Amino acid sequence: MKKILIAAIFTPVFFSSCDDTRLWGLEPDKVYLKQNGVLEEVAYDLDRTETVELWAVKSGYRGESTTVKFSVNPELILRHNEEYGTDFKMIPDGCYEVDTPREFEIKGTDQYAKFSFKYDTGKILEKAYQGAYDRSGYVLPIQIRSSDVMITDEIETGDYALINFSIREPVIEILNGNYSDLSFTVGEEGVLNYSFDVGMPFRPDTDVAYTFTEDDAVLQSIVDGYNASSSVQYTLAPREAYSMLTTDFTVGAGTDRATVEFNVDKSLMPFGNHLIVLALGSADAPMSIGENSHIILPVSVVTERIDRSNWTVTASSSSTAAGETLESIIDDNINTFWHLAYGGVDNNPRLLYDMGESRMMYQVEIWPRRFDQGGNGTSLIGCAVYASETPLGIDDDWGEPIADVNIQVVATTMSIMINVEHTQARYFLLKMRRNTNQVGINEVYVRGQ
């Protein structure tokens, strides 16, 4: 038997740990503050301490361990002010307390380390801002350093944060309650329920009790302000026409709001334009009443429209354009309208109506020309209403008006309801005030008997 000999030749291969290619091409680990630069810290003056947490982040794929050190470094303020043109100042001593370790190890593939400190809202308000709310500019400068891993160079402010404190007054307010106008015919029955929330932009540690004012002078001042800003005439709704359903006026500890419910009894609301006003009166210390302190529900109780089949109307001037003539103002067609004469010749536009018989007037309802018809919301700015049992000319002396209101027409305006002194009359005169030559009226009605 023949034997076959095979010779194996081995070439030694040497490995060195310093040539480990597994890390080739990988980004080196870097450290930075997740929240960096100027950080706005807003708190409320509740005589308590608040806590701020900052996170150091280690990025990259090498899994290198590092020790991160946090420090308060006032020199950062000078650095930031010079680089960014700001005027920050160091928060006074005694306003904050670092009560956690300032040195952390981020091991291997771990990515985060948390640092926290506490501050006293009352002391910051007193020492930094001399008791003035809503100011800022005093900061706490926090910087990080790393022993083994470089600070990132991809974020200009990656190594520091300036905590900019602002202390606000703790207020309780009405958080919602914007209601559409309630309108119904006098004599209607039924009860309508409404609700809104009262609360604050934080969660208190204890219950906060509050009240609603019953001071008629305060409520009337709100009505007066509403009338002045809206150019309308509303009266304060009678108390017996609405009722509070909620009896416990408290925002509970740990919550930021409570719901308040009330209802309106339509049968108890007299005709006319009224405002239901619910206004916060007081609250437990240290709470104050905020700017959003009241809700308003406009209520219009109207009477039936008087039949216009026998009406006639005269104007001080009229356009001659198609669809803009005097007949258009009593044709029950809101797509046509009367327009005063163009060219600025009528500085005192008037409309004189003969209702054909004596009627009891309660309200005058004016439908101004709509914006989609070219109406100018600033044109009709006021209207005086006069009435007479005997015929008078359009230029005669009608005596004192039975109503005189300012008017603000906006894009959403459909009609304007003018409450008048209850007057028995056959004739009435509208004297309109304008600030351009673009006064147009779709329809005019009288509500009464």
Query: Cβ distance 226 to 297 under 8 Å?
Result: no
- Give the whole-number percent of the chain exceeding pLDDT 90: 56
Tell me the pLDDT band of 108, cut-offs 50, 70 and 90. Answer: confident
What CA–CA distances, in Å, run from 277 to 189, 194, 236?
Answer: 21, 13, 8
Confidence at residue 90, expressed as pLDDT on a 0 to 100 scale: 97
Confidence at residue 62, expressed as pLDDT on a 0 to 100 scale: 73
Confidence at residue 22, expressed as pLDDT on a 0 to 100 scale: 44
β-strands 96-97, 112-120 pairing: antiparallel
- Give the whole-number percent of the chain exceeding pLDDT 70: 90
Which of 121-130, 317-326, 376-385 has the lowest average pLDDT? 376-385
State yes or no: pLDDT of 266 exceeds 60.
yes
Q: What is the mean pLDDT of the chain?
A: 87
Q: What is the mean pLDDT of residues 143-149?
A: 85
DSSP 133: T
Tell me the pLDDT band of 176, cut-offs 50, 70 and 90. Answer: confident
Tell me the pLDDT band of 1, cut-offs 50, 70 and 90. Answer: very low
What is d(CA 164, CA 157) in angstroms, rounded to the nearest whole number? 15
Confidence at residue 99, expressed as pLDDT on a 0 to 100 scale: 66
Q: Which CATH class is domain 312-448?
A: mainly beta
**Does residue 401 have a cis peptide bond before it, meaning omega lies within 30 degrees of 0?**
no
State yes or no: pLDDT of 26 exceeds 80.
no
For residues 376, 377, 381, 383, the Cα torsion angle rounded to the nearest 10 degrees is 80
Q: Which fold has domain 171-302?
A: Immunoglobulin-like (2.60.40)
Given this chain, do its domains 27-168 and 171-302 carry the same CATH topology?
yes
- What is the architecture of the domain spanning 27-168? Sandwich (2.60)
For the stretch 209-223, pLDDT in tens is 999 999 999 999 999
Confidence at residue 376, expressed as pLDDT on a 0 to 100 scale: 52
Tell me the pLDDT band of 24, cut-offs 50, 70 and 90. Answer: very low
For the stretch 375-422, pLDDT in tens is 554 478 889 999 999 999 999 999 999 999 888 776 666 788 888 888
Tell me the pLDDT band of 198, cut-offs 50, 70 and 90. Answer: very high
Domain boundaries, the chain: 27-168, 171-302, 312-448
What CA–CA distances, in Å, run from 299 to 86, 138, 448?
Answer: 52, 49, 18
Q: What is the mean pLDDT of residues 194-203?
A: 95
Q: What is the mean pLDDT of residues 275-287?
A: 95
Which of 14-18, 42-46, 228-232 has the lowest average pLDDT? 14-18
For the stretch 155-174, pLDDT in tens is 888 899 999 999 999 999 99
Q: What is the mean pLDDT of residues 432-437?
A: 79
Tell me the pLDDT band of 20, cut-offs 50, 70 and 90. Answer: very low
List alpha helices for 86-215, DSSP H: 121-123
State yes or no: pLDDT of 425 exceeds 50.
yes
What is d(CA 166, CA 129) in angstroms, rounded to the nearest whole number? 9
Confidence at residue 313, expressed as pLDDT on a 0 to 100 scale: 96
What is d(CA 233, CA 230) in angstroms, rounded to the nearest whole number? 9
For the stretch 342-373, pLDDT in tens is 876 777 899 999 999 999 998 899 988 876 66
